């Protein structure tokens, strides 16, 4: 942490929970919030890159770093994919600091396999930590904020979920991870719609940065440059957006997904109706296929799945068959 905590920073007085905060993006977020005056609940199991093992060391190191810089932090070692662990995040925030303002759902790991080699256990484990591990902290925090709102103390609450480009476009060899991250986007949209009445804003980020999940799979892309050049893949580049979304200054921004990489921020635009044909009656199968080909010529080409060759534009079949009327 390069600067001391600020009593007048963007998040002064706020209490922030960051899951998976022992390393990588979570660590960068926790330090950045503390530098802007937030008090931080540093959650991390200390598990390995595939979710194995437990160690309190990483979370403790981050909390100690925040305190050494003049900030306030407590360690939480709860398993965020259990009701007990997720509820302990809220309990620790309230017990230690008397309030809860922001939750950053960040914890996760990968177990990459090609689809036909993907074990059921690897599917379940990744779904558990990413998707269930977003749902449960969000659920328990939202229950607290709803109670506050009903008691006449409407919060200025924020949730930042962590999706991925894999969840937006797909990624070869990561069917479990991509499916979980896509689910997080849908969870974000639903939560934003449901919780706005209680003073809660919910957004998601799709970050690209150097973490334990990316530095080996994408080693060349993620490598830090030498010679003092801008380190585009440093996780600290993503944190300013997360801090702003987690602050009161982000009033009115909810139900959005942002890509964040290096010095770039992109508002992602999701599924919406494209070219459409309405016959006003039931289609015959061949008729429907003919119309689909026509519509695809008008539609935008989707982004390429990570690790795959971009799809070729649709072409007319060699033998379209007899015309259907």
Per-residue tens of pLDDT for the chain, all 325 residues: 444 566 789 999 999 999 999 999 999 999 999 999 999 999 999 766 665 666 678 999 999 999 999 999 999 999 999 999 999 999 999 999 999 999 999 999 999 999 999 999 999 999 999 999 999 999 999 999 999 999 999 999 999 999 999 999 999 999 999 999 999 999 999 999 999 999 999 999 999 987 665 555 555 666 677 777 778 889 999 999 999 999 999 999 999 999 999 999 999 999 999 999 999 999 999 999 999 999 999 999 989 998 887 655 555 555 444 443 3
DSSP state of 171: B
Q: How many residues does the chain have?
A: 325
Which of 267, 286, 310 finishes a domain? 267
Q: Is residue 288 part of a domain?
A: yes
Q: Is residue 133 part of a domain?
A: yes
User: What distance in Å separates the CA atoms of residue 291 and residue 285, rounded to the nearest whole number?
Assistant: 10
Instruction: Give the predicted TM-score (pTM) of the model.
Output: 0.88
User: What distance in Å separates the CA atoms of residue 83 and residue 137, rounded to the nearest whole number?
Assistant: 8
Same domain, 254 and 314: no
Same domain, 150 and 21: yes
132 flagged as catalytic: no
Q: Is residue 221 part of a domain?
A: yes
DSSP state of 98: S
User: What distance in Å separates the CA atoms of residue 21 and residue 60, rounded to the nearest whole number?
Assistant: 10
pLDDT of residue 232: 86
In 3D space, the residue among 17, 160, 188 whose CA is nearest the CA of residue 88 turns out to be 17
Same domain, 166 and 282: no
Same domain, 251 and 297: no
Q: Catalytic: which of 181, 198, 250, 306?
A: 181
Same domain, 306 and 162: no
Same domain, 178 and 286: no
User: What distance in Å separates the CA atoms of residue 169 and residue 236, rounded to the nearest whole number?
Assistant: 24
For residue 208, report the phi and psi dihedrals to the nearest 5 degrees.
Answer: -125, 115
User: What distance in Å separates the CA atoms of residue 131 and residue 95, rounded to the nearest whole number?
Assistant: 27
306 flagged as catalytic: no
Which of 249, 267, 285 finishes a domain? 267
Structural domain span for residue 300: 276-325
Same domain, 134 and 236: yes
260 strand-pairing partners = 207, 265
Same domain, 178 and 300: no
177 flagged as catalytic: yes
Q: Are 304 and 310 in contact (CB under 8 A)?
A: yes
261 strand-pairing partners = 208, 264
Q: Is residue 8 part of a domain?
A: no
pLDDT of residue 50: 61
Same domain, 299 and 159: no
264 strand-pairing partners = 261
Residue 171, domain CATH:
3.40.50.720
Q: Catalytic: which of 87, 163, 164, 247?
A: 164
Same domain, 263 and 286: no
User: What distance in Å separates the CA atoms of residue 234 and residue 178, rounded to the nearest whole number?
Assistant: 22
Same domain, 51 and 73: yes
Torsion of CA 80, 131, 141, 81, to 10 degrees: -20
Q: Is residue 4 part of a domain?
A: no
Q: Are 49 and 84 in contact (CB under 8 A)?
A: no
Q: Catalytic: which of 163, 177, 198, 306?
A: 177
Q: Is residue 6 part of a domain?
A: no
Q: Is residue 32 part of a domain?
A: yes
Which of 248, 267, 286 finishes a domain? 267
160 strand-pairing partners = 104, 203
Same domain, 187 and 214: yes
Q: Is residue 287 part of a domain?
A: yes
Domain count for the chain: 2
């Amino acid at each position: 942490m390069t600067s001391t905590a600020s009593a007048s920073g963007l998040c002064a007085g706020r209490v922030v929970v960051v899951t998976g905060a022992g390393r990588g993006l979570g660590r960068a977020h926790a330090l950045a919030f503390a530098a802007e005056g937030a008090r931080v609940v540093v959650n991390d199991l200390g598990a390995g890159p595939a979710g194995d093992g437990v160690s309190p060391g990483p979370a403790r190191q981050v909390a100690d770093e925040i305190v050494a810089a003049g900030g306030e932090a407590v360690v939480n070692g709860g398993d965020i994919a259990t009701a007990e662990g997720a509820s302990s995040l809220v309990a620790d925030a309230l017990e230690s600091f008397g309030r809860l303002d922001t939750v950053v759902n960040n914890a996760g790991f990968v177990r990459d396999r090609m689809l036909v080699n993907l074990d059921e256990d690897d599917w379940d484990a990744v779904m558990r930590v990413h998707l269930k591990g977003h749902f449960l902290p969000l659920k328990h925090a939202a229950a607290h904020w709803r109670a506050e709102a009903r008691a006449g103390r409407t919060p200025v609450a924020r949730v930042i979920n962590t999706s991925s480009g894999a969840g937006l476009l797909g990624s070869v060899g990561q069917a479990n991870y991509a499916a979980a991250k896509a689910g997080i986007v849908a969870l974000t949209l639903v939560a934003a719609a449901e919780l706005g009445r209680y003073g809660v804003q919910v957004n998601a980020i799709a970050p690209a940065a150097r973490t334990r999940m990316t530095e080996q799979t994408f080693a060349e892309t993620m490598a830090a440059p030498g010679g003092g050049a801008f380190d585009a893949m440093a996780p600290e580049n993503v944190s300013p957006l997360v801090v702003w979304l987690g602050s009161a200054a982000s009033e009115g921004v909810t139900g959005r997904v942002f890509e964040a990489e290096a010095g770039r921020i992109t508002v992602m635009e999701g599924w919406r109706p494209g070219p459409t044909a309405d016959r006003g009656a039931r289609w015959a199968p061949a008729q429907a296929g003919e119309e689909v080909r026509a519509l695809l010529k008008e539609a935008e080409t989707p982004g390429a799945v990570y690790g795959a060759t971009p799809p070729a534009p649709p072409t007319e079949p060699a033998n379209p068959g007899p015309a259907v009327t």
